[in-house]
Structure 1
Amino acid sequence: MNMKKFALGAAALALVACNEQAAKKVVAIDANSTDDQKFAYMLGAQFGGQNATFIPRQMGEELYMDAVVQGVRDMVKASKDTSFKPQMTDDSLQAVGGRYTAIARNRAQATRPDSATFASFEGDQQKMRAWMDSATNALPVVAAQASTGANVTINAQSSDNAKFSYLIGMQFGNQLNAIGGQFDTSLDEDYFILGIKEAAAKVKDTTLTLQLPQDSLAAVGQRYQQKAQELRQAAMKKQQEEQEKVKAAVAELRGDTLANGMPKLMNYKVPVTGVTGKSTDLSDIAGKSALVFYFSATCGHCQHAAPQILDIAKEFASTGLTTLAVASGGNNKVGIRKFMDNAKWDETINVVWDETREFGELYSDGYVPKVYLVNPDGTYKLYGSFESEKETLKTEIAALLKGTPVVWTVEAPKAAEAPAEAPAAPAAPAPAAK
C-alpha cells in the first residue's frame, strides 16, 4: 500500500491510495473554487464542528473520522447507484442508534443536580447551566481511533464506535444529498468531507484555521440563503403553471364523474412513463382485471405496503390478475428503482411513473398510498386505507376473478351545514312599578 500525504490548509490529512484503486482526489479551497465547492465545504464545517463538539459530551466517545467519511461516501454513492447498498442494514442502524441513545440518557442523568444542589441555585438559571456544563465536562470521553484516511469496512466485528460513527456519516451524506437537491445541484462530497475534517480538528485544537474563515463562511451562507429564496419562488411559480397545464390536460380525460368528482372509468389513455417497460399509457391493463397501486417512493406507509402488494399480486396472478404500480409525479426514476429494490418487486408488477401528474390529478386526493381494483370494463373501486381494507380487497379480488365485478358505492360530499341561528336575546325586564 502506497502512502502519500498532502498538506491541506493548517491540518495535514493522510490519504491512502491502494494499488488496485484510483488515487483519491485532493481538494482545497482556493481562488479557483466555485461557490458550490465553498458551500459544500461550509456545510461540512458546520456538521463537523457541531458534532465534534456535542457528540463526545453526549456519548462519551469521539467520532472515528474514517468511519464518518465512509458513511458519507456510501450514502452519496447509494443516491446515484440503486444497486449499491450501505454497509449497515436498517435493523443494525436502529440497534446502534438505540444503544447510543441510552448512553446519552444515562450521561445526561449523571449531570443533573440533586435536590440540595438545585436549591442552592435559588432559581438562577445561569448558575445551574454552569454547574451542569462543569459536570458534563468532568465525565470521561474515550478518544477515537486515529484517522488514516483509509477506506473502512463495517461488519459485525466492528466496534460500536465505528458503527455509530458510520451512522453519523450516513446522516451527513443524506443531508448533503438533500441540500444539493434543494439547489438543483450535486454538491461535491470531497469538499464536504474536507469541511467536516477541518472543523472537527479545530474543535480539538483551536489554533488551527479553516480554509474558509468565518466571515467567508457567513458570506457563502448568505448567498445560498438568497439563492434558496429565489429557487423557492421560481418553484412555486412553476408549480402553479404546471398545475394549470395538468388541469387543462385532464379535462378531456375525465369523462363522466362519480358523486365525489372522480372519473367513473379508469381512462387507459392517461399518459405515463415506463419504468420496468416501455409503457406510455395505461393500455396494459385495458380490458383486464387489474390491481393498481399508487405510491410515492419516499412515503413510509407505501414502503410498508409494497411487499404486501407483491404478495397479493403473486397470489392472484395465476388466476388472471394484472398488477400495475404507478409512482406519483414527485418521484424520479432513481428513487423509484430503489423503492422497487427494497420491496423486492419482480416482473409480477409492472411499474410506471406518473411524470405528467395526470393520473394523480384524476384519481388521487394528494395522499398515498392508494389501491384501486379495476374491472375489465374500466369501472373500479378505490381503497383509501390499504391496511384496514386489505382483507376486503383480497376477498373482492377473488370474487372479481370468478366473474363478480367490484362495486364502489360513492356518496356525494356532504355540504357544509349553515350555523344554527343564534337564539333571540331575552327581552329587557319591565321597569319596577313605583
Structure 2
Amino acid sequence: MRFMGKAFSLIALFAATVFAQVEAKQNAPELMKDSSGTTMKIDFTIPLAGISDPGMLFSHFSNKPLMIFYFSPKCPHCQANFPHMQTLIKQYEEKGLNGIGISVGSGIKKNDVRLFIDQFNASLPIFQDVNAKFGPRYGTGYVPVIFLVNKDGTFYRFSDSSKKSLEQLQEILNKMLP
C-alpha cells in the first residue's frame, strides 16, 4: 500500500510539473520561429487578392502594427470569432493598430468571401489567399488563426481564440501599443 501511495505521489508531482510547464509556456507567447530557430517575418509581397477593395495591396500594411484574422468564410468557428476580432481591432485602432482579414483560397469563391463580408458587416479590409501562398507558409492547417505583426514584420501566431489566448493577445497589444 505504501508503494502505491508513493507511486501516486510521484505521478501527481510529475503531472503538476508538466502542467506548470504548459501553463508557463501559455503565459509567454513567443515570436514565431522557423525550424532553424530564426525569428520569422511576414512577407508582405505575397500576392493576395483584395476583395473588399480590389485596388488595395497587402504591402500597404508593411511596417505597421497589424492584426490578421486568417479564416474561411464557411467555417462556423471563424464566423463566430470574426465579430469579436473586428471589435478588438477597432479598440486598438486609435493606438495605431491596423487590422485585416485574409480568407483561405482553395475551394472558396470570391462570392463566398463577399457574402461573409456582407453577413458579418466587415469593415476591415478583406483579402483572399487565392494562390495559397500565405496559409501554407504561416498557417497551422486550421482556421481561424490570429496573427499579431510587429512593425518589423515579426509576429505572434494564435491558433485558438480561447479566453487565455485572447488575454495573452491583449497583453501583447498593450505592450506593443502603449
Listed one character per residue, the Cα deviations across residues 170-229 of structure 1 (whole Å, up to 9, x for unaligned) are xxxxxxxxxxxxxxxxxxxxxxxxxxxxxxxxxxxxxxxxxxxxxxxxxxxxxxxxxxxx
- Residue 358 of structure 1 is matched in structure 2 by 133
Q: How does 1:32-431 map to 2 (within 5 A)?
A: 258-259=34-35, 264-279=40-55, 281-330=57-106, 331-346=108-123, 349-388=124-163, 389-402=165-178
Listed one character per residue, the Cα deviations across residues 319-365 of structure 1 (whole Å, up to 9, x for unaligned) are 1000010000122111111112222222xx11100000100111112
Listed one character per residue, the Cα deviations across residues 262-295 of structure 1 (whole Å, up to 9, x for unaligned) are 9710001111000111356521210000000100
> How much is the aligned-residue C-alpha RMSD, in angstroms?
1.9
Q: Distance in 2 between matches of 1:344 and 1:390?
A: 22
Q: Distance in 2 between matches of 1:359 and 1:379?
A: 15
Q: Distance in 1 between matches of 2:102 and 2:152?
A: 20
Q: Distance in 2 between matches of 1:261 and 1:280?
A: 33
Percent identity of paired positions between Structure 1 and Structure 2: 27
Larger Rg: 1 or 2? 1
Q: Distance in 1 between matches of 2:113 and 2:152?
A: 29
Shift of 1:396: 1.2
- Bigger strand fraction: 2
Q: Distance in 1 between matches of 2:38 and 2:75?
A: 23
Q: Would you say the 8 A contact 1:292–1:324 is kept in 2?
A: yes
Q: Distance in 1 between matches of 2:35 and 2:67?
A: 22
- Residue 128 of structure 1 is matched in structure 2 by none
Higher normalized contact order (CA 8 Å, seq sep 6+, divided by chain length): 2
Q: Would you say the 8 A contact 2:51–2:126 is kept in 1?
A: yes
SS at 1:386's partner residue? Answer: coil
What amino acid does structure 1 have at the position aligned with 2:44? Y
TM-score for the superposition, normalised by structure 1: 0.32
Q: Would you say the 8 A contact 1:288–1:375 is kept in 2?
A: yes
* Residues 1:310 and 1:262: Cα distance change in structure 2 (over 3 Å): farther
- Bigger helix fraction: 1
Q: Distance in 1 between matches of 2:169 and 2:55?
A: 26
What amino acid does structure 1 have at the position aligned with 2:117? M
- Residue 4 of structure 2 is matched in structure 1 by none
Q: Distance in 2 between matches of 1:287 and 1:279?
A: 19
What amino acid does structure 1 have at the position aligned with 2:136? E
Unaligned runs of 5+ in 2: 1-32
What amino acid does structure 2 have at the position aligned with 1:336? V
Q: Distance in 2 between matches of 1:368 and 1:287?
A: 25
Q: Distance in 1 between matches of 2:169 and 2:72?
A: 21
What amino acid does structure 1 have at the position aligned with 2:115? K
Listed one character per residue, the Cα deviations across residues 62-92 of structure 1 (whole Å, up to 9, x for unaligned) are xxxxxxxxxxxxxxxxxxxxxxxxxxxxxxx
